[in-house]
Amino acid sequence: MLTDNYQRQINYLRISITDMCNLRCLYCQPKPETGWKIHQEILRYEEIVRLASLMIQLGIKRIRVTGGEPLVKKDILWLIKGLAKIEGLEELALTTNGTKLVPLAEQLKENGVNRLNISLDSLNNDRYFMITGGGNLNDVLAGIDEALRVGFVPLKINMVVMAGINDDEVESFVRLTFDKPVVVRFIEFMPISWQEISWDEGYLPAHVLRQRLAQKFSMVPCSNIQGNGPAEHYKIDGAVGSIGFISPISKHFCDKCNRLRLTPDGHLRLCLGQDMEIDLKQPMQNGASDEELKGLILQGIRDKPMGHQFQIKRPEGRQMCAIGG
């Protein structure tokens, strides 16, 4: 069992396999002056599988593949197969913007992905295009249908709610749960590095949203969501699916944080909201043994910060696309 200095059990690894994405979301894209990381800086699939295996030997049980957009990577199924067959891994999940799921959902499932999260911030074509810097909503809606068809049930749909940008659509997102086996999760907008929209203006606390929705819908608390993370879940009377609220800012869950993150360029990031990282790529490429790499990972876990400090200090070191959500 992997435990940090605050007695938190660390069993979950998020791997961002690329910072590149086919969308340019308002709050999540590279700084104009730096752009995407060049290809040579990104870990090779074999290196990702090696580091994941070492972390599983140490006590990681669940892995989420994310990005950037993981499904823009060539030969993604090679990586999925490689991760899925690591002994000791109990769950392999993937987070995607959903635009590439029509051709890939079935193969992802067949090759070992157990769970899928799809990010979607608007159900309006023009607004989706605006928020994502050119995305086509129909691609995602078709991706959701395909994911459900091949059996990713329940399917989580994550919406970052931003005041004045898309908060008028939350009721429409709730209605998605009426007849689809989806869990719509409303996520608080976080201040991370450079963003094209102002966090101060866009941030909407989850409890404000919950009160607003409770005036319109009969919401019953529920807790039986598979893969239950930090969300508070509710079911609307008679709905097939459910909704959840994730409040990293207004009611953070750092004391229960069980996560590590591996960045595309091979750094172990210990907290989403703090820039402290340990470089694993350089030692690995300089010939470090498995035991030496495990030592570095354990050192990182011991130094894992108590929590983020979003409201005091915004992490500036990396864009979200280079951390992995």
Phi and psi (nearest 5°) for 322? -100, 5
Among positions 270-299, residues that touch ligand SAM (CB under 6 A) are none
Q: Rank residues 164 and 295 by Cβ distance to ligand SAM and give the closer one.
A: 164
Could you give the CA distance from residue 33 to residue 204 in angstroms, rounded to a whole number?
A: 29
Handedness of CA 10, 15, 21, 22 (dihedral sign): negative
Among 11, 53, 95, 166, binds ligand SAM (CB under 6 A): 95
Among 29, 119, 122, 177, binds ligand SAM (CB under 6 A): 119
Could you give the CA distance from residue 40 to residue 45 in angstroms, rounded to a whole number?
A: 12
Q: Rank residues 97 and 114 by Cβ distance to ligand SAM and give the closer one.
A: 97
The Cβ of residue 289 has, within 10 Å, a number of other Cβ atoms equal to: 10
Q: Rank residues 96 and 274 by Cβ distance to ligand SAM and give the closer one.
A: 96
Could you give the CA distance from residue 222 to residue 236 in angstroms, rounded to a whole number?
A: 10
Closest distance of CB 321 from ligand SAM, Å: 5
Residue 68: which residues within 8 A CB-CB, separation 6 or more?
16, 17, 18, 19, 20, 21, 36, 264, 321, 322, 324
Among positions 134-163, residues that touch ligand SAM (CB under 6 A) are 158, 160
Is 325 a binding residue for ligand SAM by CB under 6 A? The answer is yes
Among 66, 122, 177, 263, binds ligand SAM (CB under 6 A): 66
Closest distance of CB 163 from ligand SAM, Å: 13
Closest distance of CB 102 from ligand SAM, Å: 16
Helix orientation angle between 206-216 and 170-179, rounded to the nearest 10 degrees: 60
Among 13, 26, 51, 69, binds ligand SAM (CB under 6 A): 69
Residue 249's nearest CA partner among 203, 201, 212 is 203
Among 11, 18, 96, 177, binds ligand SAM (CB under 6 A): 96
**DSSP 8-state symbol, 44:** P
Q: Rank residues 54 and 258 by Cβ distance to ligand SAM and give the closer one.
A: 258
Binding piece for ligand SAM, criterion CB under 6 A, among 39-47, 52-60, 61-69, 233-241:
61-69
Is 132 a binding residue for ligand SAM by CB under 6 A? The answer is no
Could you give the CA distance from residue 318 to residue 27 in angstroms, rounded to a whole number?
A: 13
Phi and psi (nearest 5°) for 210? -60, -45
- Please give the C-alpha separations between residue 155 and each of 25, 114, 148, 221, in angstroms, as whole numbers: 22, 11, 7, 19
Site string for ligand SAM, 183-222 (x = CB under 6 A): ----x-xx-x------------------------------
Residue 51: which residues within 8 A CB-CB, separation 6 or more?
43, 262, 266, 280, 284, 293
Among 97, 114, 242, 263, binds ligand SAM (CB under 6 A): 97
Among 17, 21, 43, 76, binds ligand SAM (CB under 6 A): 21
Closest distance of CB 288 from ligand SAM, Å: 28
Cβ atoms of 112 and 63 within 8 Å: the answer is no
Is 231 a binding residue for ligand SAM by CB under 6 A? The answer is no
Interface contacts to ligand SAM, rule CB under 6 A = 21, 27-28, 66-67, 69, 95-97, 119, 158, 160, 187, 189-190, 192, 320-321, 325
